[in-house]
Homo-oligomer: A and B are copies of this chain.
Amino acid sequence: MSQLADTPAPPYYAVVFSSQRVADTKGYANMAERMLALAQQQPGFLGVESASAGIGITVSYWSSLDAIRQWKSDAEHLQAQAAGRERWYEAYRVRIARVERDYGFERGLRDV
C-alpha cells in the first residue's frame, strides 16, 4: 500500500500540522496512534500523510471545513491537544488550506 494519501479530485481541504517536540516524548507515540485511528473514523476524512525527522509534519485531508471543525472539537481529540501543549510539543503550527489543484507521478504509470 502506498503511504501517499489517495485523495479525490480537488477541491478538498488539507490541515498541515507541523511540530517540534520536546526531548522527552513518553506517551506520545501511543497518543499519536490513537488520534490517527480516531481521525480515520471521522466523517469527511479523506486521508493522511505523516513524516517526522527533526520536525514532524502531518497532513490530513478532509472533505470540508465543517469536517475539520468537528474533528478539532472531538472530545478525546481536545484532551490530546491539551496534553500535547502540556507535555509533548515545544511548538506547533496548524494551517488550514483549500487544495485547488493536485497532480502526481507513479513509476511505470507517469502523470497520475
- A interface vs B, CB < 8 Å? 2-5, 7, 10, 14, 16, 18-20, 22, 49-57, 59, 85, 89-107, 110, 112
Contacts and interface: CB of A to CB of B under 8 A. Distances in A.
B103 A94 contact: yes
A55 B93 CA distance: 20
A96 B100 contact: yes
A97 to B, nearest CB: 4
B55 A52 contact: no
Q: Is the interface of A mostly helix, strand, loop or mixed?
A: strand
Copies in the complex: 2
A102 B56 CA distance: 17
A94 B19 CA distance: 21
